[in-house]
Amino acid sequence: MKITTHTTNALQLSRLTSLPLLVMLFAISTLAFAGGYSKPVKNDIVETATSAGNFGTLLTAVQVAGLEETLKGDGPFTLFAPTDEAFAQIPKDQLNALLKDKEALTKVLTYHVVAGKVTARDVVKLDSAKTVEGQSIAISSQDGVKVNDANVIKADIMASNGVIHVIDKVIIPN
């Protein structure tokens, strides 16, 4: 009987020492699934936009302007990224002319970039932000988030060197 009691006590003790470990593992897995824990992001802004699949025109423009290496750099950057559909709103002859004018194209593209990592939580607290181009963009969080006259349709796409917010229009500097 003593052996059985000793074995039972040892089994109960091992269950008790395993309990904190199980609780800790459960907490970690819950946080991971709830978004409280995330893996480090490996892809830069250009790689992230490429893998998204709906930024072909933007990526072509970035290459033509010679800004690809910049957007692959350390950053951090915040990119308000127009989709292919946003670029399709520009008449084809105007878009082609823009793609042939590197200076004007660079001005338009850098107007979509803010230095630093500005997440959705930060954006809604702002009424403007200075762009890499030098001018400020207007930001409004009434009736959804707007950057100038473009709607933010998806926010906080994280990249290793910043964040992308998807917009539904190409914004043009003055």
Bridge partners of residue 139, in order along the sequence = 147
Residues 154 and 101 in one domain: yes
Residues 62 and 138 in one domain: yes
pLDDT band at 143 (very low <50, low <70, confident <90, very high): confident
Residues 52 and 134 in one domain: yes
- Answer for the pair 171, 154: CB distance below 8 angstroms, yes or no: no
d(C-alpha 124, C-alpha 141), whole Å = 6
The beta strand positions in 6-127, using DSSP E, are: 77-82, 113-115
To the nearest whole number, what is the mean pLDDT of the chain? 84
Q: Smallest Cα–Cα separation from 88: which of 171, 170, 1?
A: 170
Residues 71 and 124 in one domain: yes
Domain count, the chain: 2
Residues 22 and 79 in one domain: no
Residues 32 and 61 in one domain: no
Q: Smallest Cα–Cα separation from 154: which of 112, 109, 119?
A: 119
Residues 127 and 142 in one domain: yes
What CATH number did the domain enclosing 162 receive?
Answer: 2.30.180.10
Q: Smallest Cα–Cα separation from 109: which of 118, 98, 96?
A: 98
Residues 9 and 94 in one domain: no
pLDDT at 35 over 90: no
Q: Smallest Cα–Cα separation from 66: which of 15, 102, 107, 90?
A: 102
Q: Smallest Cα–Cα separation from 157: which of 115, 120, 109?
A: 120
Give the residue numbers spanning the domain of 18.
Answer: 1-38
pLDDT digits (tens, 9 = 90+) for 50-78: 999 999 999 999 999 999 999 999 999 99
Residues 68 and 103 in one domain: yes
Residues 102 and 150 in one domain: yes
- Whether residue 174 lies inside any domain: the answer is no
| Least confident segment among 24-33, 140-149, 165-174 | 24-33
- Whether residue 173 lies inside any domain: the answer is no
Residues 159 and 76 in one domain: yes
* Res 39: pLDDT: 58
- Whether residue 9 lies inside any domain: the answer is yes
